[in-house]
Structure 1
Amino acid sequence: MTDVVTPPTSPVSRERSKEIKRLSVISTARQVRLLSRAELTELTGLSPATLTPLVRELIAEGYLIERGPGTSRAGRPRAMLEFNPRAELVAAVSLEPSRISCEIADSDGSVIAHRAVRLTGDIVETICRSVPELAGAGLPALRGVAIAAPGVSSGGTVRLAPSVGLVEGRQIGESVQRHLGVPVVVDNDVNLMAAGEHAAGAGSDVADLLLLHVADGIGAGLVLDGQVRRGAGGAAGEVGFLPLDPTDRGHDGIGPFEARWSENAVAERVVALAPGRRPDAPVAALVELARTDARAAAYLDEVLTAWSRLIVSCACVIDPGRVLLSGAATQLDDDAVARLQTLVDASAPAATEVRRAVLGDRAVLHGAVSHALAAAAAGTPQLLPTP
């Protein structure tokens, strides 16, 4: 009797295999934007027989738009396919003191709708209500949600975010994902800024960078080998907690370094030097005051020295190569940035370029878009930074 040999079962189901091929086509079209079916076949490695029904489905779903024939040096011009960025929408939600800001954007990062909502009730309930309302008729195209929190995020839980009332851990990601039914990314806001600058800003040409964000607190976002690094407990980049002396322990979620050298601290000193209303841009006001006031000039030197020590401390551990100044730190004029660079050059163990971030408030949006689309492309129920 002849033994019947049963071929091994593929570890990838037919449905999953199709989804992988589908995502390959979407990813390729998203990158190239306008291409022919022949080019799509070449770039994806899929056969025309496999590609044809996938393209037909993606056209019906609005991912691809059929355009007229393109130019051709020889033979008949080929019909072209164009990727439609509006087929993939993401929601970027920023937790801020007393409110949340929500934006709906397409896969290009173009904002379709924006709304700021006062935070009078529960954070999760407010997010779950605001995102569908803002998405409106585009809700079926929503592929993911990215939530930016000014604190430590790990596994969708946010802590050490006193400005939004989340000093103790609060699970946000899983609750929002369960309600909205799309992948949810919860990350530190500075991590998303770093991701945004790396994707579309002043760090788009490097694989490693550190973004130093100066605001009410001070935080850093770290990108190494093209990936945001969060650390074992999600606290990588919490440089505001750098101790200044052996007795420093931090207080109510505020670190000792940021208590002394944040935008708030600079604002208080500026008002003390020039009594009056708190300036809207404290660092810029200090730079201007330092031109004519010796005390302000001395204090500006102290600020630059403190920030340079922070940058050098980070460079000693991670050697980012490039440091981007974000938030209030971008208010430094060219001379002050050059002085900061000189201080860093004098102490850093390796070349460390200091320059301003360029995206401003849009950095979080670009980071959120890239994270949310990555979560959707992973094809898993959720993608939350975990220890």
Structure 2
Amino acid sequence: MTDVVTPPTSPVSRERSKEIKRRSVISAARQARVLSRAELTELTGLSPATLTPLVRDLIAEGYLIERGPGASRAGRPRAILEFNPRAELVAAVALEPARISCEIADSDGAVIAHRTVRRTGDIVDLICTAVPELAGTGLPALRGVAIAAPGVSTGGAVRLAPSVGLVEARPVGESVQRRLGVPVVVDNDVNLMAAGEHAAGAGVDVADLLLLHVADGIGAGLVLDGQVRRGSGGAAGEVGFLPLDRADRGHDGVGPFEARWSESAVAERVVALAPGRRPAAPVRALVELAAADERAAAYLADLLDAWARLIVSCACVIDPGRVLLSGAAADLDDAAVARLQALVSAAAPSPTEVRRAVLGDRAVLYGAISYALSAAASGLSALLPAP
């Protein structure tokens, strides 16, 4: 009889197996918050012999806190473990025309520090200075960074973001990752808004949605089957480049649709109708002006018709089911939203609900925190957008 020789287990496989088990313990503890070792065994399916050294290591690392004994069903006290969300911190960074906003959050997504910094000098230098300073003594617990950019992001490189000085592709994510030594994910700011609304806002109860964000430009964030979709080149949702006629071409990173129907375009028309300073909220000002001015009312009707055509065009291709109005579009009053809904319902091939986004400026950072937590949880070392 020939003996069967079992090949030795690869050290790499052993380390990978240990990490998987470690992550399962962290995940179970995060979900339960407070539990006993016996309950942890039940949740993970790991034997007490396997679990004991993992728990010991996680206590030493700060993931688990050992509390006093609690009562058990048998009446005997059990040592209680409590999950510590501060053991893993993430940073969310939003690039804006005149500043960057940075937040540090724990693994629950709770923000523990926030700062805005005027955008001067090199963006990478600014991020790599602001994040460690904001993290402070918690820097060793930093597990990931998510960066929101108002442009197209592919593999961590940002382009078509003229408002922050990034028209040609620049590997912002790779540069920040190399200097900070943690996983970095980079994505379009509107994608992050959609992720934020899906995680904690007006899209939390659906798996499919389109977020239409109107600002100086117009962009869309798409969530299908619970996942943000970006397209092969990272440019999915660049609806501001929708051509209005054959001669239309994008110029200097500005698309023809957004050149005519963005917040900036609305502001110009409002100033023309009611001379004075540019209003802080042009769409809201237009709605108010339309109540008493026929020309403003006619322009508002044209604006709603244009936005409706854009929404219907998207619905014909992706059938999102729900459309969230973000940025200046969220400044429409209830009557205008109802008119927009009616226009969409009359032309869309399937039921498409239109409602306002609810997180406002916080949507980007909610999405960025979600991305960074996903990067930390999966231990990403590549510059891929998190699911």
**Equivalents in 1 of 2:385, 2:127: separation in Å?**
19
Q: Please, which moves more after superposition, 328-337 or 146-155? A: 328-337
The reply on whether 1:151 has 2:146 as its aligned counterpart is no
Residue 105 of structure 2 aligns with an amino acid whose one-letter code is A
Q: Does 1:254 align with 2:257?
A: no
Map residues 366-385 of structure 1 onto 2, 5 A cutoff.
366-385=366-385
Quote the Cα distance in structure 2 between the aligned partners of 1:307 and 1:243: 14
Output one character per residue of 1:262-286: Cα deviation in whole Å (capped at 9) or x when no partner.
1111111111111111111111111
Indicate the residue corresponding to 1:185 in structure 2.
185
Please say if residues 375 and 383 of structure 1, whose CA atoms lie closer than 8 Å, have aligned partners that are also in contact. no
Answer yes or no: is the 8 Å Cα contact 1:322–1:352 preserved in 2.
yes
User: What is the total number of aligned residue pairs between the two structures?
Assistant: 386
Q: Is contact 2:91-2:131 (8 Å) kept?
A: yes
Query: Mean alpha-carbon deviation: is it higher for 308-317 or for 48-57?
Result: 48-57
| More deviation, 65-74/315-324 | 65-74
Q: Which residue of 1 aligns with 2:138?
A: 138
Deviations 1:359-378 (CA, angstroms, capped at 9, x unpaired): 11111111111111211222
After TM superposition, give the deviation of residue 125 of structure 1 in Å: 1.3
The alignment status of 1:268 with 2:272, answered yes or no, reads no
**Residue type at the aligned position of 1:215:** A
The one-letter amino acid of 1:165's match is G
Provide the residue aligned with 1:104 in structure 2: 104
Residue number in structure 1 paired with 2:94: 94
Query: Could you tell me which amino acid in structure 2 is paired with residue 384 of structure 1?
Result: L
| Superposed displacement of residue 8, structure 1 | 7.0
Structure 1 residue 105, shift from structure 2 partner = 1.5
Would the aligned equivalents of 1:153 and 1:385 in 2 still touch at CA under 8 Å?
no
SS of 1:92's partner is strand
Relative to structure 1, is the Cα distance of residues 261 and 78 closer, same or farther in structure 2, using a 3 angstrom cutoff? farther
Partner amino acid for 2:258?
E
- For residues 5 and 226 of structure 1, do their structure 2 counterparts lie closer, same or farther at Cα, with a shift above 3 Å needed? same
Deviation at 1:382, TM superposition (A): 2.9
Query: By how many angstroms is 1:355 displaced?
Result: 1.0
- Kindly provide the CA deviation profile for residues 297-353 of structure 1, in whole angstroms up to 9, marking residues without a partner as x: 111111111111111111110111111111111111111111111111001111111
State the one-letter code of the partner of 2:94: S
1:301 aligned partner: 301
Gaps of at least 5 residues in structure 1 are: none
Indicate the SS of the match to 2:117.
strand
Q: Which moved more, 1:359-368 or 1:185-194?
A: 359-368
Partner Cα distance (2:299, 2:384) in 1: 41
Give the whole-Å Cα distance in 2 for the aligned partners of 1:115 and 1:265: 31
Q: Distance in 2 between matches of 1:143 and 1:171?
A: 20
CA spacing shift, 1:11–1:273, aligned 2, 3 Å:
farther
Secondary structure, aligned partner of 1:16? helix
Asked whether the equivalents of residues 182 and 382 of structure 1 are also in contact (C-alpha less than 8 Å), the reply is no
Q: Share of identical aligned residues, percent?
A: 85
TM-score calculated relative to the size of structure 2? 0.95
SS in 2 for 1:170: coil
Higher deviation after alignment, 36-45 or 193-202: 36-45
- Per-residue deviation at 1:74? 5.5
Q: Could you say if the C-alpha distance between residues 43 and 275 of structure 1 is closer, same or farther in structure 2, counting changes exceeding 3 Å?
A: same
Instruction: Mark the CA change 1:275 to 1:70 in structure 2 (over 3 Å): closer, same or farther.
Output: farther
Matched, 1:233 2:259: no
**Hey, what's the Cα distance between the residues in 2 that align with 1:132 and 1:319?**
42
Residue type at the aligned position of 1:331: D
1-side partners of 2:273 and 2:373: how far apart?
48
Contact 2:156–2:383 (CA<8 Å) still a contact in 1?
A: no
TM-score by length of 1: 0.95
